[in-house]
Amino acid sequence: MIEVAVFDTKPYDREYLNQAPGTERVTWRFHEFRLCLETAAAAKGARVACLFVNDQADRACLEALVLHGVKLIALRCAGFNNVDIAAARELGLVVVRVPAYSPHAVAEHAVALLLTLNRKIHRAFNRVRELNFSLSGLVGFDLHGKTVGIIGTGKIGSITAQIFRGFGTEVLAHDPFPAPDWAATHGVRYVGLNTLLKESDIVSLHVPLLPETHHLLNEQTFSLMKQGVFILNTSRGKLIDTGALIAALKVGHLGGVALDVYEEEQGVFFEDLSGQVLQDDELSRLLTFPNVLITAHQAFLTREALGEIARVTIANILHFETGEPLIADTPL
Ligand code: NAD
């Protein structure tokens, strides 16, 4: 049996990991708390530490994991910005991830957020339940004929672009590694970042968090955007400078902002804080805008995605144990 310390687990993680093929060869040690230096000792005796997006595997934490006998870091997600990959390599740790569990889940959530925000479905739902059938303040716009800017046309961005094409929008795209054949097939036009920002009615982020994408949307890039632009971020919170976002919202420059991720989401997203005082003043401010819609990093949360995350995570662990080629080693 392979001992696996699983951090930041929720009931749905346990359900799907306990059902996936190969689970009978693994002893899961489920922990609800997140991994950090202070909690690394919980992996003592485990060969594998299994992490999610908000576990913090910095160098000191990785050193502690190695001391406790961990050989493999198995991420249950695609992004790996929360693991110091260079330190892991130096320490002889192998890092695997689930690069594509369901790009459709995330793309569909991005579009769901836009439709909800634009047509004010969330507000209408609450009104109607209180027998308020007034339509005042619920005016939206037709998506048809608008211009959508997709930043990052990898697995998720490309599907998002295709869905938006189905609404009859023009789609502009920006990516340092464009896919011209795909763009030609789907009627998508690659442009420079500034052109995309200037011409788009809706801007949707689908890039990984890297040093060069940190605060990709900031005071300067917001200033290039159209008055009334809608912004969607289902990728990583730190792609947006939250202070600049709030400033642009306060002056009425942005028509709507839909976020599934937030710069300082650790310790807040995925938790029930309904009985507590929210300590994050920027998040508190964001929640007061009528044209901001926030979900708590749930874009991945479909049955298909959870099943695939569990299947690939176990396959990664078993392949590591048997010396078979790893399914999803990090690209670094
Ligand atoms: P991917 O690797 O398939 O695609 C990323 C694309 O971004 C690539 O084409 C890359 O060339 C491009 N890119 C890199 N730097 C860029 C830049 N500076 N400007 C423009 N494009 C750039 O990744 P993916 O599977 O499509 O996922 C995208 C991101 O979505 C992930 O990195 C992750 O952060 C996020 N994500 C979020 C959730 C969620 O639940 N909210 C779930 C899965 C993934």
Domain of residue 129, CATH code: 3.40.50.720
**Residue owning the nearest CA to atom 8 of ligand 1:** 154
What pLDDT score was predicted for residue 330?
54
C-alpha–C-alpha distance, residues 96 and 78, integer Å: 9
**Residue owning the nearest CA to atom 35 of ligand 1:** 235
| Cα 78 to ligand 1 centre (Å) | 9
C-alpha–C-alpha distance, residues 146 and 287, integer Å: 27
Please indicate, yes or no, whether residues 74 and 138 belong to a single structural domain of this protein.
no
C-alpha–C-alpha distance, residues 169 and 148, integer Å: 7
Please indicate, yes or no, whether residues 316 and 209 belong to a single structural domain of this protein.
no
* Cβ pair 88, 44 in contact under 8 A: no
CB of residue 108 inside a 6 A radius of ligand 1: no
Verdict on whether the full-model pTM lies above 0.85 = yes
- In this structure, what are the phi and psi dihedrals at residue 311, rounded to the nearest 5 degrees? -60, -50
**Residue owning the nearest CA to atom 42 of ligand 1:** 300
Tell me how far apart the terminal alpha carbons of the chain are, to the nearest angstrom. Answer: 29
CB of residue 255 inside a 6 A radius of ligand 1: no
What pLDDT score was predicted for residue 79?
84
| Alpha helix segments (H runs only) across 23-73 | 59-67
Nearest C-alpha neighbor of 296 from the set 276, 322, 267: 267
pLDDT in tens, 282-293: 999 999 999 999
Ligand 1 nearest atom to the CA of residue 212, by list position: 18
Residue type, 6: V
What pLDDT score was predicted for residue 324?
86
CB of residue 103 inside a 6 A radius of ligand 1: yes
Which residues of the chain carry a pLDDT beneath 50? 332
Please indicate, yes or no, whether residues 134 and 279 belong to a single structural domain of this protein.
yes
Is 297 part of the annotated catalytic residue set?
A: yes
Residue numbers of the domain that contains 108: 103-294
Nearest C-alpha neighbor of 313 from the set 332, 331, 298, 327: 327
Please indicate, yes or no, whether residues 8 and 116 belong to a single structural domain of this protein.
no
C-alpha–C-alpha distance, residues 158 and 152, integer Å: 8
Please indicate, yes or no, whether residues 155 and 10 belong to a single structural domain of this protein.
no
**Residue owning the nearest CA to atom 25 of ligand 1:** 155
Residue type, 163: I
What pLDDT score was predicted for residue 332?
43
What pLDDT score was predicted for residue 104?
97
* Cβ pair 275, 72 in contact under 8 A: no
Angle at CA 69, nearest 5°, toward 68 and 73? Answer: 100
Residue from 31, 174, 297, 311 carrying the catalytic annotation: 297
Please indicate, yes or no, whether residues 26 and 63 belong to a single structural domain of this protein.
yes
CB of residue 297 inside a 6 A radius of ligand 1: yes
| Cα 287 to ligand 1 centre (Å) | 26
Residue 332 placed within a domain: no
What pLDDT score was predicted for residue 151?
98
Is 265 part of the annotated catalytic residue set?
A: yes
User: Domains in the chain: how many in total?
Assistant: 2
- In this structure, what are the phi and psi dihedrals at residue 289, rounded to the nearest 5 degrees? -80, 135
Please indicate, yes or no, whether residues 119 and 258 belong to a single structural domain of this protein.
yes
Please indicate, yes or no, whether residues 126 and 169 belong to a single structural domain of this protein.
yes
C-alpha–C-alpha distance, residues 87 and 91, integer Å: 6
Please indicate, yes or no, whether residues 72 and 112 belong to a single structural domain of this protein.
no
| Cα 77 to ligand 1 centre (Å) | 12
Please indicate, yes or no, whether residues 135 and 240 belong to a single structural domain of this protein.
yes
Nearest C-alpha neighbor of 18 from the set 35, 8, 36, 6: 6
Alpha carbons within 13 A on the beta-carbon side of 283: 19
Is 59 part of the annotated catalytic residue set?
A: no
Q: Which residue has the tokens 């900031």?
A: 218
Please indicate, yes or no, whether residues 192 and 258 belong to a single structural domain of this protein.
yes
